[in-house]
Chain A
Amino acid sequence: MANVKFSNRDVIESSAKKHPIGFGYTLLQAFAFLVVFIALLEGIARISFISNLLPYQSLGSWHYQFDLKWFRLKQYVANNGGVDVILLGNSLVDTGFDPDVVTQTYYEKTGLQLRVFNFGIDGLTVYPSSINAKLLVETYHPALLIFVTEMRDYDATNGIRTEEKLLSDTWMQYQLGYFNPRGWIIAHSVALQHFLPYRNWMRADFPSTFAACLQTYHTTSLTGYEPDNGVMKEVVAPDPNNLAGNPYFDSNQPYQVDPSRLESLQSILDLARDNGPQIVVVEMPVHPVFFEYAGGETVHKAFQEKIAETVRAGGGIFLPAIDEVTIPLQGRSNLTHLNRRGAPILSAYLGGQLAALTNQEGMMFVNKQKGDSQP
């Protein structure tokens, strides 16, 4: 250690003396370079040939499925000249409704062609759905908004993290009217939207998460439907004396409809005002055993009545869940989700119900002029 010289031997010399003036000019030049780089990237990203080569765009949202559906809907509208019906809700909607089947059934019964898109997003409860509904109505002006709901939407403890994460995203905040530069850039830069799917490229788990995103991207249809291949093997009923570990509800307190969440439902219904879309609220036909986790059929009935009452009072149409025997066990992937067998049955039912509303009530869901719903 005695020979250790702790002195800072290679004293770092100042080289800035070579350029005593003009650093400001260097900064200006750097800014010019930056503008050129960005313009080049933006120009390249906007060439459709290049854009088509890149897998998918993102808004940098915490919920990659939201980004995926947002851009898929944009593409859908570009391809079809607009959208008439948007289905809204959580993953039960995502995997439970095939818009092509809805369109086909409706066409067979009315002779009218509907343009339907499935905007179901995993984990979304009624509050974030109401925000989505507002954004979608303002951007695409659909003639009909179908909000598909279930009991967990109104459970005060459910989906809080997803809600907070999704709604605090910079792009979302910008869309909701809270200006921020990042949100503005994301909303306007196609190059950045193409970069954002890779923004976490440095994370150790990126290969697997990116692959999962790509898989969802490829399996989701152009109308937003994501078929579920799972099949429910058996129905496990909960032990009524021991609901600890309840996977669906907070077992520490009895189920009740949270008033603030009911307000969110009301805000969806309010969108119908001032020539807004018609609102239909559909109850998702979950397996009856699911209600046992919530406290039984009585609790479900009370929930159903509460929702029906709110919807009717708000001027909307409420379609209660179809009889459970209509969807066979093989049509479910678990107690709540339908699989690729069950989804067409429910979609055909919905198409039929919409057709009945058109034929019997004279309600029209097709935007009057093609292009009406273009953003």
Chain B
Amino acid sequence: MKAQAAQQWLEERIGMSAVTKLAQKKVVPVHRHSIWYYFGGMTLFLFMVQVGTGILLLLYYRPSAETAFESVQFIVSEVKFGWLIRSVHSWSANLMIAVLFIHMFSVFFMRAYRKPREITWLSGVVLLFLALAFGFSGYLLPWNKLAYFATKVGTDIAGVVPVVGKFLLRFLRGGDEVTGATLTRFFGFHVAVLPATATLLIALHLVLVQKHGMSVPPSLEGKPYRTMKFVPNFVLRDLIGWVLAVGALALLAAVLPWELGEKADPFASAPAGIRPEWYFLFMFQTLKLIPAKILSFDGEVIGILSFGVGGLLWVCVPFLDRSPKIAKLLTVIGVVILLYIIGMTIYGYVG
């Protein structure tokens, strides 16, 4: 009786019943491609793990060139379970990007970006770019050798962009070189700018998903199909996935703890075997293979601009898909891109 009164009291003040009604009405289509519906929620879960472990790391991390490496060393060697928190943060970041890629390609191949979901796609692709920015900025924070050179190369790539390149490079580095100033900036991006932007975009993305409901593949459109209730049927299935993810993270952190490497030294040669995180590897490998000169242009400039244009076209996919013919072509292009990314990534590890 008291609980009911409390509920009534709350209801009069915040009116949560509108939300619960909406949740009860929500359904998820059931068909042979339904498995792909789980990857968006999985990305969200891993993002929440990142926020949680990130806040924990902030309690001990000290962002300066003199103290960053030592503070991470302190976290993994002195702080109780510090190794676990740090490893889970690194592993979860990688899994999140992997799951994000799967989510994006499944949306692409099921053509879920079509009207009226163009802005859902747009916000999703921008979120992918943000995730890569999270990865790139976070990678520098332990201030180790690999991170130092990855940042040198990565920011130098930004400098290649015509017209605004020099500005971008100095903006990113906080000067002309990668120094402690760069570390401070990246720290600011990583823990303030990116989380705030990502949270807003995730909110928009989720509101749009609720507004439009789940998309079904074109082959099922106009035909009757089964559905399941979002609450509790789909949520409970989601939950199983999340519990499995926690298990996977714990296993990876325990069996393959994330290495710290050696402290960055601005006056040491780049170590042999240096390579970026796997999600940048296909671009890295391409830059490695491109000849110094293509016609009279620098090869690197051509390569970097091509990736830029490619990324832009990818953002525009919902607006390019305007006829069944183009849709088929887009699918073929999507397969080629996917194979290229996978192939180059493997080549990057083996070659």
Same assembly? no
Where the two chains meet, the residues of A that have a C-beta atom closer than 8 Å to any C-beta of B are: none
